[in-house]
Structure formats: C-alpha cells, structure tokens
Amino acid sequence: MLLDLKEILERLEKLYEIGIYNIPFYQNKIGDKSTFSSYEKFLTLPFSYKQEIRDSSVFDRTSTKISDIYGIFSSGGTTGNKTYYVFNKNDKHVHETFIKTFFTEMGVNDSDLGGVFAPVDTGIMAHTMMWQFTTMVIGYINCPIPTPENIMAYISSLPITIIATRPSVVTAAVTDTRMATIAQTSNVRILALGGGILTEKRRKFLEEKWGAECYNLLGMSEVFGPLACECKEKNGLHYLSEYLFVEIIDPATKIPVPDGCIGVPVYTTLWDKGFPLLRYWSNDLAYIDFSPCKCGSNNPRIYVLGRLDDCYIISNRYVLPKDIEEVLFTYEFYGEFFIITNDNKIELYVESDKKEIDLNLIDKLTNMFEKKVEIIVVPPSSLHYDGHAKRIITKDEFESLGLNL
C-alpha cells in the first residue's frame, strides 16, 4: 500500500495522540499535534541524530511498558559505551510483515534450510537474521564464528539452502579454489546479504562462485533488518512505505531533494514502535525510485550508495567505497580495504594473496581520486575490518586502529 503525504501525516497524528512521542527524547522537538497538520509544518520538526541517541538513556526514548518489551539490543560498544534499543511486540509483528513480503518474493519456501553466519552478540543483526527463518517457519542453524573453514564445514555437512550474513563473509569463504568448489557443489541457492553495501561486481563474483542468487538487504539498529530488500529484478531495494516514510535530504541545504536525486535518507516510522523515529538522519547517501518496478510491486526502491562520513569529495563529486570496490574486484582484489587520505597522495591497503599489481588499476584509481594512489597489499584477514568502520580515513585514524601490518 502506497500512502500519500496526507495519509502519512494522519498516521503520525494518530501516533502522537496515543502518546508515543510523549517521551523525554522528543520533549523539545515536537510542539503540539499541529506539527502533523501539513508537510510544511512537518518540515519544521528538527532532525534526530545518532549522537542524540548515544547521549540519551534507552528509557528516555520509549514509552513501552516492560510487559510489552520483546527484546533489548545494543549497538557500538567497542569503546565501552553501548547504545541500547527497546524492541516492542509491535516491532516484532511489523518485522514479520517485512520478512514475509521480502522472503516470499525471493522464493523462500518450506523446503529451505537456513544458515546464519554472524556473531550472536547484543546487536540486533544476528537476531533478526534468525527471526527471518522462524518467521518463514523454516529451520536454521547458527554459526557464530563465521570463518571460511567453519562455513565450509557447515555447508558440506548440512543441506543449507539460504545463507544470511554480510557480503564480505561469503566472499572470504570462496577466494580459495578448494572452498569455492565446496560452495559450488553445496545446496546453497540464496545468499541474503546485509550489513554492507553489495556492489554489482561483488554480486556477480558471489553468484558465479556460489552458484546461488545473491540479494542485497538493508537494515539499521534503530529500526531492524531488513527494512528494505531487493526483489528478483535486483534493481534497488523495496521498502514497505506503509510503515516507513523516507525523505531524501540535501546534506548542504537540509531541504528535501527532487525525486530521484541523491541525498541523505531521513527516516520516520509509521507504527507504534518501541523507539519511534521522527526525521532520523541516517547519514547515508541514497536516492529513491518511486516508479513501479518490473516485479509488480509499487513499493518504492531505495539505492543506498554509502555513508556521508565515509566518502571523498572532489568538487561536488563523491568517491565512495563502493566505487573503489567495483574497481578492485575488476582486478581480482576481493579482500577488505582501507583508503588513507593524505595531503599529496592516497594510500590503499587491500588484503590479498596477489603479488602483482596491474598498472591499469593504479591508473583507474588515480583518475578516480585525481591524486596519486599507492596500493599496499597486505595478507588476508590482516585488516580486521568489522563491517561498520569507515573505509576512507586519515593516517591518524588508520594508526589508531592499531593494525600491526
């Protein structure tokens, strides 16, 4: 169901009336319910930022009673400060609606067996990956330490047909010929990948190596995962616009961009959510296509390109990690990478067993950055990329990672 702006505002007004925004987090942001009387008024609502979430207590961000809590999750915490999120029973129900829509479109059925290849800690990602399978009433096994060797052991011992994980995990598993043969002859037919941008080059590589269909899913701790997912067309990620209102905002002017233009997705949730989002600034870069999709769905499609704080800007042109990955994959560099920006040159650290670097690769990257690029090849798994950190960083940030290369 596609809601128009008037219906979205009516829904928000109803949520206001039941008191879900009557919490300290929104105390100084919303006036009265006339905030939802027109889009012009709605646009006066200030954005909410990640830092405000980090700086607030979890129960300042929810009106959910203890008896209505389904789960509490946390993100971050590598530096000791965790950010907690209350997930209520309505959230579970809405999550199930998303999953049934997305997984049915992917062709998941009761003859499938799932494999979750993600560390099960306090974050929501691995939990929602497991719930995907329980929602579809199919069995699954969880592999909390998804090393390539463990993945191979699981898929050669069990008839797993769908893998849920991050793109880099299934990539690392098939860079070795012996493992790629195991993957190719396994029962795996679908790779449902979230927690990282899936480039077309990586998709092609994975589909060939695994002999499986590869789908891109989008999730975020502040909502759940997936909140958007590709259909069989694999051209943009559909989201259920009945539950999510996504504005694309110009990061410079802070006003909505015309349809189809790139900007920052700002999320407003449209149900009685544990932690309701009102104009939540994701800090991603994306655009939305509202035209009907060939799959028959009229739900809009979002194309997330990267993060605003993880790009290199050359006179209004963004160089994003996905652009670099597309080039690296062309030259068979499949490992994790970091870009270190210096005043006079760019250093690119990439994990690989390869000994030689094609000069055309250096030329392509130099043209992309309009600056001299030096490539430093490091052994596989030595960059310890966790799936969240920025890839385009300064020398100081790189050194603070404490990598012993």
Q: Which residues bind Zn ion (CB under 5 A)?
A: 231, 233, 293, 295, 297
Provide, rounded to whole angstroms, the least separation between the CB of residue 98 and Zn ion. 15
Provide, rounded to whole angstroms, the least separation between the CB of residue 277 and Zn ion. 24
**Token code pair at residue 50:** 């990640």
CA distance 285 to 265: 7
Which position has the token pair 């299934």? Answer: 170
Compare residues 228 and 231 and give the one whose CB is closer to Zn ion. 231
Sequence-ordered list of residues with C-beta below 8 angstroms from that of 317, at least 6 positions apart, any chain: none
| 143 neighbors 155 (Cβ within 8 angstroms) | no
Provide, rounded to whole angstroms, the least separation between the CB of residue 295 and Zn ion. 3
Closest CA to 84 of 59, 120, 47, 109: 59
Provide, rounded to whole angstroms, the least separation between the CB of residue 293 and Zn ion. 3
Provide, rounded to whole angstroms, the least separation between the CB of residue 197 and Zn ion. 19
Phi-psi map region of 251: left, alpha, beta (phi>0 left; psi -120 to 50 alpha): alpha
SS3 130: helix
Provide, rounded to whole angstroms, the least separation between the CB of residue 217 and Zn ion. 14
Provide, rounded to whole angstroms, the least separation between the CB of residue 231 and Zn ion. 3
Closest CA to 106 of 212, 241, 254, 248: 212
Provide, rounded to whole angstroms, the least separation between the CB of residue 376 and Zn ion. 41
**Token code pair at residue 270:** 């449209």
Provide, rounded to whole angstroms, the least separation between the CB of residue 290 and Zn ion. 12
Question: How far are the Cα atoms of 119, 212, 327 from residue 125, in angstroms, in the given order?
Answer: 9, 22, 29
CA distance 342 to 96: 46
Q: Which amino acid is at 227?
A: L
CA distance 333 to 329: 5
Q: What are the contacts of 77-86 at 24+ separation with CB within 8 A?
A: 77/122, 78/386, 81/54, 82/122, 83/53, 83/54, 83/58, 83/221, 84/58, 85/58, 85/61, 85/124, 85/221, 85/222, 85/274, 85/275, 86/58, 86/59, 86/61, 86/62, 86/274, 86/275
Compare residues 72 and 293 and give the one whose CB is closer to Zn ion. 293
Q: Which amino acid is at 56?
A: S
CA distance 116 to 19: 37
Q: Determine the angle formed by the axes of helices 89-105 and 124-135, rounding to 10 degrees.
A: 60
Give backbone dihedrals phi and psi of 147, rounded to 5 degrees, phi first: -75, 160
Provide, rounded to whole angstroms, the least separation between the CB of residue 303 and Zn ion. 13
